[in-house]
Amino acid sequence: MLIPKTYNSLGIIVPLDHVQLDSVGGLPPGIQWESNADSNIFMAGKYYCVLFSGTPSQNGHYVLKIYVDVYSSYNNIPLRLGQTVDSTSLWIDVEDANAIRQFPAEISGFTTWPNPFKDNFRLAFNSKMATETEVDIYNLLGQSIYHRKFISVAGKNSIPFNGINFSPQTMIIRLQQNNRSYTKIINKTH
């Protein structure tokens, strides 16, 4: 995870000091999480990781709910702005706790360019078949800022995007096809 340097608090952009990972709900029984940050505090502008480990004991579709406390600062004193919950972009499917299943990729060569971009960018990928495809773009708080459905063609696909209305930030772009997701980081500059 890359923690953003700003936060939109009720329409006001404020500088972000850090976020603190409070909890991860919706995990399959038998799975735990831990972060590589002291006290689960992630400083703005830095990368961190969260490790999920264990052996799931029950089959099912588990939508994760990630609770994060958001902090700004005033005169180097942290001020809690509130809590945000991401329950839209991560899930775990457990089909058989004792099996490992591999899926052949249906999409290859997934790229975005230019990256970083200023006004416009292009998404490109190769698809094994013509099928419904979805593109979602999320900010680093997991909030959806763009969604589009289209039919991809078998072979090379190249889709232009007008990014003028996106604010300068780091975003996650997710390409979804046939219940499989592929993600990339994309950056918009000033």
- Looking at residue 98, its pLDDT comes to 58
Last residue of a domain, one of 73, 94, 115: 94
- Tell whether the model's pLDDT for residue 36 goes beyond 80: yes
Confidence of residue 134 (pLDDT cuts 50, 70, 90): very high
The pLDDT of 82-99, averaged and rounded, is 74
- Tell whether the model's pLDDT for residue 77 goes beyond 70: yes
CA distances 138 to 64, 147, 186, Å, are 16, 9, 10
User: Does 101 map to a domain?
Assistant: no
Q: Do residues 142 and 64 both lie within one domain? A: no
The pLDDT of 102-128, averaged and rounded, is 84
Side chain identity, residue 26: G
Mean pLDDT of the chain: 85
pLDDT > 70 fraction of the chain, expressed in percent and rounded: 93
- Tell whether the model's pLDDT for residue 101 goes beyond 70: no
User: Does 100 map to a domain?
Assistant: no
Around 169, how many Cα atoms within 13 Å sit in the side-chain half-sphere?
25
Can you read off the two tokens belonging to residue 56? 């799931």
User: Does 99 map to a domain?
Assistant: no
